Amino acid sequence: MSHTALSLRDFTQHFRDRRLVTVFIFGISSGFPWVLIGSVMSAWLKDEGLSRSMIGLFGMVFGAYSINFLWSPLVDRVRIPLLTKWLGQRRSWILCCLCIVFAATLSMAFVDISGQLFVIALLALIIAIASATQDIAIDAYRIDILAEKESEKMSAAAAMATSGWWTGYALLGALPFYAADIPGVDWPDVYLALAVIVALLIVYVFFAQEPESNRELVHARLEQQYQQQLGKHATVLPRWLNIVIAWLGVTIIEPLRSFFTRNGVKTALALLAFIFLFKIGEAFLARMSIVFYKEVGFSNSDIATFSKLGTAVLTIIFAFLGSVFNNRFGIVKGLFISGIAMAASNLMFSWIAVAGPKLSLYAMAIVLDGFTQAWSLVAMVAFISMLCDRAFSATHYALLASLGNLGRTLLSGYSGVIVDDWLHGDWSMFFILTALMVIPSLVFLFLIRKRLYQLEWQFHENGRKAKGQE
């Protein structure tokens, strides 16, 4: 089965939609916190003399991105006093989370990392939790802002989200590395500047358009059904307790039931397993990449130019090309290509480990890595978005995305231990190992490909029906 692809001209018209510009800006808001507690933090810790194992374990704060599905139903259901009425469900949550990130980032500028390592770790954890919660609202915003009849725009929205994420993570993430090489500028000064960028992202929330949704009507109807059932079988319970149980049922049980009902139990479990396995190898590489670059001999400016600016520009370009490919050939084929490229990209870093700090090899690796990052993110974002029920978009996307982040955060926290204790500092073998980690997910993807093609066709068919009924 396949869907009818739009012409290139018609597809590119999607990118002129103002709503997708907001998706891009919110993508920046989503990617930028990874700079605060990821690459910049790793460089700061390295300059302070911490070991590779300690730096790797410090990344455990990213575990918040793996478990944010636990509180994602609250983002769908809980209304923030005053703010929700003013800004709407999605923007109010985004605003609150960004304000917390701003406060924690500003605080880092006034902490002595050598004597207050625990305080830095706590602030990093606060940023991680706030950012992970913000991601729930942002991903739901991207799904909700497009009507069901606009399913053909999903790949374009995924490309804009990916481009925004990498703009925040890499383009803006290059600035602190350039700044760190300026005489007289230290890392606390850098965090002061980073807090200003977060403040600008906060301002944009007020200019974004809140999505229209019938989510609250669906939730109210489901709550009423729960209360009716409780009234029949639990008449001894007071009315207020029936209301509480009904609210919890719609908030916690219904999203899970909806996901397994829509996809079937076997397919749902298969989808969850694939999403978990897909990016584990890339995750291990990413966690140690900054440490590797500095140990091999690249300067902070080299890292800023190639890994930040270079990767960001290439990712934005390849994200657009990846969305065009997905429109023409389908999301599942895009996942296959990105998985193969992911393994090849990791092997390029193994070559650098053997050859040393050659900028030509660094540039080649960044080109391949930019392609991999773009295609894998665009395909995965569009793929997960396709699986979400709009009545529970925050909960569903968070559940699926958190599985993808599980290996990227909790497991990759041991990447430094693997390099130090298992491989005794052998970077080349480490990157070969990360390339091999990609293979199980590709095998799994091949085994469930027919069901995935069917789901993709159904998604686009539902969009065409909704458009025809307008």
Portion of the chain with pLDDT greater than 70, in percent: 89
* Between 145 and 424, the higher pLDDT residue: 145
Lowest mean pLDDT among 46-55, 149-158, 329-338: 46-55
Mean pLDDT over 265-292 rounds to: 77
pLDDT at residue 449 tops 80: yes
Give the helix/strand (H/E) hosting 453: helix 449-468
Contact between residue 7 and residue 461 where contact means Cβ atoms under 8 Å apart: no
Q: What pLDDT score was predicted for residue 5?
A: 57
Cα dihedral sign, 43-49-51-54: negative
Mean pLDDT over 383-398 rounds to: 84
Rounded Cα distance, 366 and 360, in Å: 10
**What phi-psi label fits residue 163: left (phi over 0), alpha (psi between -120 and 50 degrees) or beta?**
alpha
Q: What pLDDT score was predicted for residue 460?
A: 67
Contact between residue 153 and residue 14 where contact means Cβ atoms under 8 Å apart: yes
* 87 — pLDDT class (breaks 50, 70, 90): very high
pLDDT at residue 234 tops 60: no
User: Which amino acid is present at 348?
Assistant: M
Contact between residue 126 and residue 104 where contact means Cβ atoms under 8 Å apart: yes
* Between 39 and 58, the higher pLDDT residue: 39
Mean pLDDT over 111-115 rounds to: 79
Q: What pLDDT score was predicted for residue 268?
A: 82
Which tens digits make up the pLDDT trace of 343-353? 888 888 889 88
Q: Give the mean pLDDT of the chain.
A: 82
* Between 417 and 313, the higher pLDDT residue: 313
Q: What pLDDT score was predicted for residue 202?
A: 97
Rounded Cα distance, 410 and 67, in Å: 10
Q: What pLDDT score was predicted for residue 233?
A: 63
pLDDT at residue 469 tops 70: no
Nearest in space to 101 (alpha carbons), one of 133, 70, 63? 133
- Find the Cα–Cα–Cα–Cα dihedral 265, 269, 270, 275, rounded to 10°: 140
pLDDT at residue 55 tops 90: no
Which tens digits make up the pLDDT trace of 120-136? 889 999 999 999 999 99
Nearest in space to 397 (alpha carbons), one of 19, 138, 32? 138
CB-based contacts of 196, cutoff 8 Å, min separation 6: none
Q: What pLDDT score was predicted for residue 98?
A: 97
Packing angle between helix 154-166 and helix 18-34, nearest 10 degrees? 40
CB-based contacts of 123, cutoff 8 Å, min separation 6: 104, 107, 108, 111
Mean pLDDT over 301-306 rounds to: 80
Q: What pLDDT score was predicted for residue 409?
A: 61
Which tens digits make up the pLDDT trace of 174-204? 788 888 778 878 888 889 999 999 999 999 9
* 141 — pLDDT class (breaks 50, 70, 90): very high
Contact between residue 91 and residue 210 where contact means Cβ atoms under 8 Å apart: yes
Nearest in space to 297 (alpha carbons), one of 362, 233, 212? 362
pLDDT at residue 119 tops 90: no
Q: What pLDDT score was predicted for residue 24?
A: 94
Buried b (16+ CB within 10 A) or exposed e, 223-240: beebbeebeeeeeeeeee
* 462 — pLDDT class (breaks 50, 70, 90): low
Rounded Cα distance, 78 and 197, in Å: 28
Q: What pLDDT score was predicted for residue 7?
A: 60
* pTM recorded for the entire structure: 0.79
The residue written with tokens 């500047």 in the block is 193
The CA–CA distances, whole Å, from 195 to 46, 109, 171, 361 equal 22, 9, 16, 34
pLDDT at residue 8 tops 90: no
Mean pLDDT over 278-294 rounds to: 75
What are phi and psi for residue 236, nearest 5 degrees? -75, -15
Q: What pLDDT score was predicted for residue 1?
A: 47
Mean pLDDT over 320-334 rounds to: 82
Please state the length of the chain. 470
Contact between residue 29 and residue 39 where contact means Cβ atoms under 8 Å apart: no
Q: What pLDDT score was predicted for residue 11?
A: 64
User: Which string of DSSP letters, residue by residue, matches 26-66?
Assistant: HHHHHHHHHIIIIIHHHHHHHHTT--HHHHHHHGGGGHHHH
